[in-house]
């Protein structure tokens, strides 16, 4: 489970490379994983 969680985060980071709106990034992260 932790393995796929990690992979999802990496994939997510790759999609949002260069994102300057960190609050929005964290918001999306919590929406996906919460």
**What string of pLDDT tens digits covers the 34 residues of the chain?**
778 888 888 887 777 676 667 787 788 878 877 6
Closest CA to 12 of 28, 20, 34: 28
Residue 20 is given by DSSP the state: -
pLDDT of residue 18: 62
List Cβ neighbours of 16 (8 Å cut-off, separation of 6 or more): 25, 28
pLDDT of residue 11: 82
pLDDT of residue 19: 65
pTM exceeds 0.85 for this model:
no
Helices 2-15 and 22-33 cross at an angle (nearest 10°) of 150
Give the Å distances, CA to CA, from 2 to 6, 21, 23: 6, 26, 24
């Amino acid at each position: 489970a932790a393995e796929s969680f990690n992979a999802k985060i990496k994939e997510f980071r790759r999609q949002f490379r260069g994102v300057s709106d960190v609050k929005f990034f964290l918001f999306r992260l919590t929406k996906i994983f919460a």
